[in-house]
Amino acid sequence: MIIGTIVNGIVIDHIPAGRGMELYRYLKLEDLDCEVALIKNAVSEKYGKKDILKIAEIIDLNYDMLGYIAPQITVDIIENGERVKKLHPELPELITDVIKCKNPRCITSTEQELKHVFKLTDRQSGTYRCIYCETRAEKNL
C-alpha cells in the first residue's frame, strides 16, 4: 500500500484502533476538497494497533475535542515536506458543544441556544460533568 507524502498538511497519529472514522466524521473531513487518508489498524509498537489520519491541507482543529476523544494522539503539522510542530492535545478543563447532556431535566434540554459545557472533574479517569446539573458525561462519541 502506498500513501503519498504530505507536503503541507496535518498528520493525526496514535488514534486508538477503530476510532479513526469517528474522528474523520467529527472533524467533518468529508467536506474538504483536499486528499484525506485514513489508515486503520496500523502497527504500533506502543499500542499494538492504531489509526492514522493524513490531511493534505492545514486546517483549524478543535484541540479540546481531540484531547477529549483521545488524549494519547499526536498532531504533526507539516510544511514544505517537513514537520514544523508536534502537538499533544490533553484533556481540557472545560469542553463546549462536543458532548451533549443526557439529563432530560438539565436546562440545556429546554434552552436550545445554551451551550453544552462540561468540566473535567477527575483527570485520572477522564470524567466530565455538566456545569449546569452535574450529570456525568458518557464517553460514546
CA 25/CA 28 separation, integer angstroms: 5
DSSP strand pairing (48-55 vs 82-87): unpaired
CA 38/CA 35 separation, integer angstroms: 10
In single-letter form, the type of residue at position 87 comes to L
Q: Which domains does the chain have, with CATH numbers?
A: 9-87 (3.30.70.140), 94-130 (no CATH)
Tell me the three cell numbers of residue 15.
Answer: 488514534
Instruction: Give the pLDDT score at 129.
Output: 97
Model confidence at 69: pLDDT above 60: yes
Mean predicted confidence (pLDDT) in 52-75 = 90
Q: Single out the residue of 57, 45, 55, 49 nearest to residue 15, CA to CA.
A: 49
Three-class DSSP category at 120:
strand
Range 12-28 burial, b when 16+ CB lie within 10 A, else e: bbbbbeebbebbbeebe
Give the pLDDT confidence of 73-123 residue by residue, as tens digits: 999 999 999 999 999 999 999 999 888 999 999 999 889 899 999 999 999
Give the pLDDT confidence of 29-50 residue by residue, as tens digits: 999 999 999 999 988 888 889 9
pLDDT higher at 82 or 4 = 82
For residues 12 and 23, the answer to whether their CB atoms sit within 8 Å is yes
CA 4/CA 138 separation, integer angstroms: 37
Instruction: Give the pLDDT score at 29.
Output: 92
Residue 48 half-sphere exposure toward CB, CA atoms < 13 A: 3
Instruction: Give the pLDDT score at 38.
Output: 93
Instruction: Give the pLDDT score at 44.
Output: 85
